[in-house]
Structure 1
């Protein structure tokens, strides 16, 4: 009998990925389908459609289903033994939403194993192109939601975030106001994560607490939908969303479709899928007091928090690992591109020179501090380069090595200040886990 294994899925913006691990957490199989390259018939760019207004950004739902068909066929061709899979779970890009047409639950449940799944489901979606996290077309819906809830701070206190254009509640409100007939035909609304779980379950999978707290709809304290938020977005919304569940819930056995078509064991369990950001916190095995920082094109901070204080900047989400605690998420646009620009200006484009400059200056930078925003920052909403000397006077320039340290210390100081505003407390046992491109530079990490 084959050794047990477990599958993890990632329905991300540009590709679908799968990984299989054994009971010792060793990777025994991985593969991916790249949407632009492997599914050219959908004509996406970067896995998405950017519409003519430049604000509306969507992805075709059937592309995600067809990618799943394709990756399972690749696994089958490679000789992968599906019968050894005991359970699976996964992640989806946060904030994307999928709209199931009335009657789709029966089609999903009774899909013929003779056909690829995308053929059975092609008529199941009332909205064929799903709004995703890159969409910023719902400014008026955001203003209306904040007004209905008594202001941005009150909305954040209830749902963990002020109104954001990509958040699902505002996307649903836009669909309802622009296409009430389409909304009327919709019997279920999934997030990308719960949609993906639904495909494997053969039934509508519930939204999990963590991904659900990125919708401007979930009361993060009670773990239930907020009636005022639902009412402000669309009528009859609660029945279309279903009941949210803890992120580690076992939802049930795999759909018979997969046993018949691919040879999965009927006992294979489907565990709730969650959003990509909560999945990162779980995957990095964060514990109470830990900080994870991704130093990429944008810098992202993940924090495990016991007693959060939701603010107008950043997000508080339910913790996917422990439903009694929370995770905070802070995103900073001016990450690696800003560091690379200062490297080019002050260190001849060399990371070695950049590191030497950091070594040649003392921690604290003799009181010189800078904040560097080439593009409009998310947290805080600011742009431009702002330098201050030891007397707190604004100055126009620093010597090159001072500039480099001012950049790094300013970036990390800002992260700590905004984290503490959300209720984060540095503990004696605090660990900082760094990932992303800049985490390879030891001198930058010393700034942490």
Structure 2
């Protein structure tokens, strides 16, 4: 039976997962980069300069880890000859810099050598790749926004405003130094394209989904943006004050250094040195390597208008959508496989930390430990609210803001504030004494879920949900508060946009194990096909496996899109638990009860200090 490999080259380790054609796991292997910390001077996989904010990872470390792990698999008699396809993911945004000798070095690499990391060392102009934790590009962020006029314009073009970790600003910072290393740079890549390059033995460009994390790709066209490309060679007419002719020439050169954007079906065969050393079949196909978040969505049966909510220290919401609605407060990416589909990504700083602070306050009051008392109170508060709440009535509704850390979504300073809404008086901020800790237990979970719903709704496809009694009352309640439009992150949307619900919601991460919290989130989202808690480890590597299996699928299955194909094969029984409602009544009814609070939260956010 054929096997498929998924690589996950993350910040601290390399994982390789092997899967069978039916998506079941055959075997798993991993190596932690701390094994090499003494040799490379790394800690948790990186070298950090606290003075400059620079964070890097040695490229030779990646190479040595790959060869070491593959060698261990060989010693354990892993059947490399049965591997038909390979894909995977890498830490997003990291940049790799090649000399002009990279192609010749790969062509002459000796499969019998035990030190590929040394054999290829001269192929990298900079020995270190940038890491997503790097914060040394403040000046470059200003330059990228100036090049297109504003953060909003940059976001509109590339799917994100300028970010420290993004690849374009990282490349420009190294170009600004005009060092010997930069002058020896002939080709540019990301960590993901580096892994693709090594596995194929050919210099590979950047995969289209991963390219969205560079601030260089025009996301709508799927091609590099020439104005932004000129920035990485320090020759942008608006920022660097060169002529348009010099800008155009720089953009052309940058295109050659990056290579064309790699499309979903652009695959290559495995490198000869891997065939010779490990016994891979020379017909084994390497499918494009993407970033970790993008690989995660390929590990689950997500269709358009489905959500994946990762409930960890921070909260991350991934959404598949046909609508391109960029915002400076979140990210939009191209799907690495499905053409015409985008991935929206909301990243909140205040997730589990904020919830744990309220839990600790509850435990202090009741002299308890753990989550049991918090959960009991949360469920009690929701039962109490259900008795008095009507979908069309917004009087004396409360919303809380709990940001122990400065928040990205919305852009706000650390704060802890509670507001009440009254039709007579409008928003009124409450003092701490006015809010009991029991009420706050409900408010914090509500506010976190409501913020997600507020931003997800405009990205969902189709029109408003069914014109049922509940939906009509929900719309009436929302419009009493905000009028005909809801403003989200300085953009106004019709209230009809907030009458839409996702199809399905999948919950992962530490807090997803807490049934009480997940039930509240699920009621607020009101998914039409339900909410599900997912237990799936090694998601990034599995996403690579599934992508490789799909790429190598039999010809008769070519009519299926990736979303439908994986949904037919995914082990729901073994990986998924359906989330029950925290309230009685139909899903639509519980969802409708929170529509007024969506409007109240949008008003509250306007009063937060940025």
Q: Could you tell me the TM-score, scaled by structure 1's length?
A: 0.96
User: Size of the alignment, in residue pairs?
Assistant: 445
Distance 2:113 2:440 in 1: 61
Quick one: distance in 2 between partners of 1:60 and 1:422? 39
1:289 and 2:326 are equivalent in the alignment:
no
Deviation of the 1:420 alpha carbon: 3.7
SS in 1 for 2:162: coil
**1:327 aligned to 334, 337, 343, which one?**
343
Matching residue of 2:269: 253
Q: Alpha-carbon deviation of 1:43? A: 2.6
SS in 1 for 2:122: coil
1:263 and 2:289 aligned:
no
Which range moves more in the overlay, 410-419 or 194-203? 410-419
Q: Are 2:519 and 1:446 equivalent residues in the alignment?
A: yes
User: 2 CA distance for matches of 1:16 and 1:160?
Assistant: 29
What does the per-residue CA deviation read over 1:109-144, in whole Å, with 9 as the maximum and x for residues that have no partner? 221011132122122111111111101111111101
Match of 1:140, SS?
helix
Deviating more after overlay: 374-383 vs 153-162:
374-383
- Deviations for 1:331-371, whole angstroms, at most 9, x for unmatched residues? 01111111111111123442111110111112589722111
Q: 5 Å matches for 1:150-161?
A: 150-161=149-160
Partner SS state of residue 20, structure 1 = strand
Name the counterpart of 1:407. 444
CA contact (8 A) 2:189 2:206 kept: yes
Q: Map Cα deviations across residues 239-267 of structure 1 (whole Å, 9 max, x no partner).
A: 11100122x32421101101111100001
Contact preservation (8 Å) 2:460, 2:500: no
Aligned twin of 1:350 = 370
Q: Is the 8 A contact 1:310 1:422 kept in 2?
A: no
**1:65 & 1:310 partners in 2: Cα distance?**
36
Matched, 1:243 2:260: yes
Which structure 2 segments of 5+ residues have no match?
A: 234-249, 390-395, 462-496, 522-610
Matching of residue 368 in structure 1 with residue 398 in structure 2: yes
Give the C-alpha shift of residue 232 in structure 1.
2.0
Between the two structures, name the one with larger relative contact order (CA 8 Å, sep ≥ 6).
Answer: 2
**Structure with a larger share of its residues in helix:** 2
Instruction: Give the aligned partner of residue 166 of structure 2.
Output: 167
* Contact 1:205/1:272 (<8 A) preserved: no
Per the TM alignment, residue 30 of structure 1 is displaced from its structure 2 partner at its CA by 0.5
- Partner of residue 115, structure 1: 113
Counterpart check, 1:337 vs 2:353: yes
1:396 alignment partner in structure 2: 431
Which structure 1 residue ranges, 4+ long, deviate > 4 Å from structure 2?
363-366, 421-429
Give the TM-score taking structure 2 as reference length. Answer: 0.71
- SS, match of residue 289 in structure 1: coil
- Partner residue in 2 for 1:124: 123
Counterpart contact for 1:60–1:128, Cα < 8 Å: yes
- Give the corresponding residue for 1:59: 57
In 2, the alpha carbon distance for the partners of 1:54 and 1:176 equals 16
CA pair 173-422 structure 1, distance change in 2 beyond 3 A: farther
| Aligned 1:79-118 pairs, distance under 5 A | 79-116=77-114, 117-118=116-117
Contact 2:272–2:282 (8 Å) recurs in 1 = yes
Distance in 2 of aligned mates of 1:132 and 1:429: 34
Matched, 1:74 2:91: no
Which residue in the other structure is 1:34 paired with? Answer: 32
Deviates more, 1:399-408 or 1:413-422: 413-422
Q: Which residue of 1 aligns with 2:411?
A: 381
The corresponding residue for 2:529 is none
User: Closer, same or farther in 2 for the Cα pair 1:54/1:374, shift >3 Å?
Assistant: farther
- Residue 170 of structure 1 and its aligned partner are, at CA, apart by 0.4
Verify the 8 A CA contact 2:305 2:460 in the aligned structure 1: no
1:390: how far off? 4.1
> What is the rounded CA distance, in whole Å, between the counterparts of 1:429 and 1:101 in structure 2?
47
Counterpart of 2:106 in 1: which secondary structure? helix
Correspondence for 1:307: 323
Conserved 8 A contact 2:460-2:501 = no
Larger Rg: 2
Question: Does the 8 A contact of 1:176 with 1:182 survive in 2?
Answer: no
Tell me how far 1:423 sits from its aligned partner: 6.2
What is the root-mean-square deviation of aligned Cα atoms in Å? 1.7
- Deviation string, structure 1 residues 158-185 (Cα, Å, up to 9, x no partner): 1111111111110111000113542231
